[in-house]
Structure 1
Amino acid sequence: MKRVTMADVAKAAGVSKSTVSQFLNKRYEHMGEETKEKIREAIERLGYHPNYIARSLKQKRTAMIGIIVANIMHSFSTEISRAIEDFCHEHDMHAIVCNADDDPVKERKYIEMLRARQVDGLILFPTGGNLELYKQMEQERYPVVFVDRKISEVNIRTIVVNNKEATYQAVAHLIEKGHRDIAIITPPLTIYPRIERMNGYKQALNDYRIPIKQEYMISTEIQRMISELSRLFALPDKPTALVAGNDLSFFEVMKFLKENGLRVPNNVAVVVFDNIPFASFSEPTMTTIAQPAYAMGKKAAELLLQQIHHHEELPDSNLYTFPCTLMIRESSSRALI
C-alpha cells in the first residue's frame, strides 16, 4: 500500500505543503477555520500519519524525554512522574519512564539507552553511583534535571525538598507532645534525602537537650527492618514514638506493629516522611510529612524544556528547594504529658 504523504494531504485539501506543515505543528496564527477544517478532513479521509522520524531529523529533536526513577515503588516517585508526563502532554512531548531500582548499573544502562535513542533530555532521580557520567552530561550541556537527590560534585539543576527542616519540625512536634524516647528508621544513609532527614532528627533532639541514642537510629535495607524493629522494641527503654523515613519503611513499621499487637498511637506514636495516599482515612489517620510531589514534577519538566528549547546558561543557584507540610493527624496526637 502506498504511503500517504503530506503532499497528498495538501492536494486533497487544496492548500500548500507548508500550510499542512503549519497545521501539524499547531501554528494557526494566520490560518482560517475553513482551511483548518479542510486539512483535518483530508487527514482523516486519507488516513495520513505524520512521519515523526523524518520530522525529528529535520528539527534535530525527537519530542521525547526520558525519566529515570530510582525506585518506582515509592508513591512520591509515581506522583512526580505523573506530573512530568502531564506537562509533556500539554507541550506535545512524550515521556519514557525507566526504573533504576536504586542500582547504578541499571541507571547507567538506561542513560546510555535513552541517549542512544536521541531523547531531547533526561529527568533523573540519581543513584549517585555514576558521577563521571553526570559530569559528562554537564560538560556536554546535555539537558538534564535531577529530582529528589542533590549531587554536590556536579552543577546540574536539582529539585529537592527541605528534608532536614521538615524532619526537625516533625520531631519537635513529638517532643512537644511529651515524647523523649523517639526512634527513626530509614533505608541505608547512602543518598542525600535520607542523610538530611537523619540530620534533622538529631538536630531536633540536640536543640531540645534530649540525649541521642544510637540504638534508636535504624538505617538498613527494607528486608532487614522487621528484625531491627524487633531488636528496638526488645530494649528496656522502648521508644514511645517513631519516625519512618519514607513510605516503604513505614509499611515495614506497620507490619511489625500489627504482628506484635502494638497499637498506634496507644503504644507508639508514628510519623511518616512521605506521601501516603490513605493517610487521611486510615485507622488511625496517619501524621505525614507531605512533599509537594506534583509541583516538583511540573517544575522539573519546565526546567528541562527550557534547556531543550533555549540552551540557556545555568543560573548562579541551580538548587530549587520545595517546602514540606507536616500534616498532624491521630497517629501522633496522643500527648504523654
Structure 2
Amino acid sequence: MKSVTIGDVASHANVSKSTVSQYLNKRYDYMGEKTKERIEKAIKELGYHPNIVARSLKQKSTKTIGIIVANILHNFSTEVSRAIEDACNEQGFHLIVCNADDEPEKEKNYIEMLRAKQVDGIIIFPTGGNKELYRKMLDEKYPVIFVDRSVEDVPITSITLDNRKATRLAVQHFIDRGYKRIGIITTSIIRDITPRVERIKGYRETIQDNSLQVEEAYVKSLEIEHIQDGLEEMLSLDEPPEAILAGNDLALIEILKYVKEKRLEIPDDLAVIGIDDVSFASFYTPTLTTVAQPTFEMGKKAADILLSNILDKKAEGSLSEYCFEPKLIVRDSVGYGSDAKGRDTV
C-alpha cells in the first residue's frame, strides 16, 4: 500500500507543500483558519502520518531528550522526571527515560544508546563513575545537565539541593525538641554520591554546633538491604539514639518497616524525620515530619536550561550549580526528647 506523502496532503487541501510543512511544525503566524482547517481535514481523510526519521534528518533534530535516573524507585526521581516531561511537552519534545540502578556500567550503556539514537540532549542523575564519558560530552559541547548530584572535576551544569541545610533543618528540629541522642541512616556512600555525603556533613556540623558530641555508632551509610540491620545495631547500644534522620525516602521506608516489625511507637520510642516529602507522609500514622525538596522546580529548571542549549545553538552553558532550598514540614513523628522534660514544651 502506497504511503501518503506531504505532497498528497498539499494537493488534497489545495495548498503548497511548504504550507503543509509550516502547519506540521506549528508555524501558524501567517496562516488563516480556513487553511488550517483544510490541511487538518486532508490529514485525517488521507490518514497521513509524518515521517519522523525524514523530518529529523532535515531539521537535524529528533525533538527527543534522554533522562538517566540513578534509581527510579526514588520519589525524587519520579517527581523530577514528571516536571521535565511537562516542560519538554510544552516545547514539542519527547522523552526516553532510563534507569541506571546506581550502576556506572549501566549508566555508560544508556549514555551510548541515547547518543546512538541521536537524542538532542541528556539529563543525568550521575552515578559519578563515568568521568571520562562526561568530559567527552562536555568537550564535544553536547547538551547535558546533571540533576541531584555534581561530579568533582567535571564542570557540567548541575541542579542540586542544599543538602547540608536539609540535614541541618532536621537535626536542629530534633535538638530544639529536646533530643540529644540523634542518629542518621543513609543509603551507601561508597561512590561518594554527593547528596548523601553532604547530608552526613550537615548532620555532623549541626551536632557539633550545638555543643553535642558526634557518636560514630549513630552514623550509618548502608545498602538498602542492610538498613534494618544497621538500625537494629544502633538501637541495641547501651545508650541508643532516641531520634533517627532518614537520609532519603528509601532509607525512611526501611526504618518504618523495622518500626512496624518491632512494634515500636513513633515518636514515643523513636522520633523520625525523613528527607524527601514522600506521598504518604501526611496520612501515615503518626504523620511524618519531613524535609521536602522542590522537585518540580528543580525538574523544570533542568529542562529549561537543556532546551535552551538545544534550541539556541549559540547559548553558552553557564557551567554552574543551581542550588535549591529545602523546607522542613513539621508533622507528628517528632515528640519531645529527654532534655525537654521538666521545661515548658508548649
Pairwise TM-score range, normalised by the shorter structure: over 0.9
The residue type equivalent to 1:179 in the other structure is: Y
Structure 1 SS opposite 2:153: coil
Structure 1 window deviating more from structure 2 (44-53 vs 255-264): it is: 255-264
| TM-score (normalizing by structure 2) | 0.96
Amino acid at match of 1:84: I
Deviation, 1:262, is 1.1
Question: What is the Cα deviation at residue 268 of structure 1?
Answer: 1.0
Provide the aligned length of Structure 1 versus Structure 2: 336
Partner of 2:343: none
Please list, as runs of the form range in 1=range in 2, the aligned pairs for 1:9-24 lying within 5 A after superposition. 9-24=9-24
Could you tell me how far 1:335 is from its partner in structure 2?
A: 4.9
Please give the root-mean-square deviation of Cα atoms over the aligned residues, in Å. Answer: 0.9
2:207 to 182, 201, 205: 205
Deviations 1:90-136 (A, max 9, x none): 11110000000000000000000000000000000000000000000
Deviation at 1:333, TM superposition (A): 3.7
Q: Deviations over 1:156-187 (max 9, x none)?
A: 11000110012111101100100000000001
Taking the aligned partners of 1:250 and 1:23, their CA distance within structure 2 comes to: 50
How far, CA to CA, are the matches of 2:58 and 2:284 in structure 1?
54
Distance 1:285 1:38 in 2: 57
> 2:147, 2:302 within 8 Å by CA — same for their partners in 1?
yes
Name segments (4+ residues, structure 1) moved above 4 Å.
none
Aligned counterparts of 1:216 and 1:37: Cα–Cα separation in 2: 68
Partner secondary structure for residue 135 of structure 1: helix
How far does residue 152 in structure 1 lie from its aligned partner after superposition?
A: 2.4
* 2:321 alignment counterpart: 319
Q: Tell me the percent identity.
A: 53
* Partners of 1:138 and 1:35 in 2: CA distance: 45
- Unpaired runs of 5+ residues, structure 1, are none
Give 1:138 deviation, angstroms: 0.5
Q: Which residue of 2 aligns with 1:40?
A: 40
TM normalised by structure 1 equals 0.98
Q: Deviations over 1:56-109 (max 9, x none)?
A: 001111001000000000011000111111111111110000000000000000
Match of 1:191, as an amino acid?
A: I
Q: Which residue of 2 is the match for residue 159 of structure 1? A: 159
Which residue is 2:269 aligned to? 267
Equivalent residue for 1:223? 225
Looking at structure 2, the residues matched to 216 and 137 of structure 1 have their Cα atoms a distance apart, in angstroms, of 40
Match of 2:237 in 1: 235
Q: String of CA shifts for 1:273-304, please: whole Å, max 9, x gaps.
A: 11210111110000001001111111111111
- What is the identity, as a one-letter code, of the residue corresponding to 1:257? V
Which 5+ residue runs of structure 2 have no aligned equivalent? Answer: 341-346
Query: In structure 2, how many angstroms separate the alpha carbons of the residues matched to 1:240 and 1:226?
Result: 16
CA distance in 2, matches of 1:60, 1:12: 28
Name the SS for the 1:288 alignment partner: strand
